[in-house]
Amino acid sequence: MARDEKLKERWESLVDKLSQQFAEGDVLDLDAIIYLIGIQELGQLHRRFKKDEKLDLMHIAICRLLEPYGYYEFDYYDEEKWPHYKVKEELPNLKAGEQSILMKEAIVNYFVEKEYIT
C-alpha cells in the first residue's frame, strides 16, 4: 500500500474513532482534533477554557505535533503548568494541501505514539 493511501486510511480511522468518542458521531475536523491534542498535552481535561486559551491550546498542540519533525522543542512549564516551546527551525512555506498532509501525518503519528491507534 502506498504511503499516502496508508496515511489516508489511518486518518479516516482516527477521525472516526475520535468522532465517536468526543462528538457523539459528528465528524471532527482537523482543528477540533488539534484542539483535543492541546487539551491532552495540557492535562487539564475537565475544565472550561476561554477563547484566548483555546487558541493557546491549539498552539501547544501544533508545537507538540511538529516537535518530532525538528521545528519546535519543549522549553518549560509556566507557573500555571502550561507547556512552552521554542522554535528550532522555521517552518517551510507550504501550500495549503501540503500543510494539511503534514498535520494529518503528525496527528496520526501522535496517536500511534500514544497507543490510541495502531
| pLDDT value, residue 46 | 83
- Contact residues for 15 (Cβ-Cβ < 8 A; gap 6+): 27, 28, 33
Q: What is the spatial distance between Cα 22 and Cα 69, in angstroms, rounded to a whole number? A: 28
| pLDDT value, residue 87 | 97
pLDDT category at 1 given cuts 50, 70, 90 is: low
Domain boundaries, the chain: 3-113
Which range, of 2-6, 33-37, 87-91, 111-115, averages the lowest pLDDT?
A: 2-6
| pLDDT value, residue 25 | 77
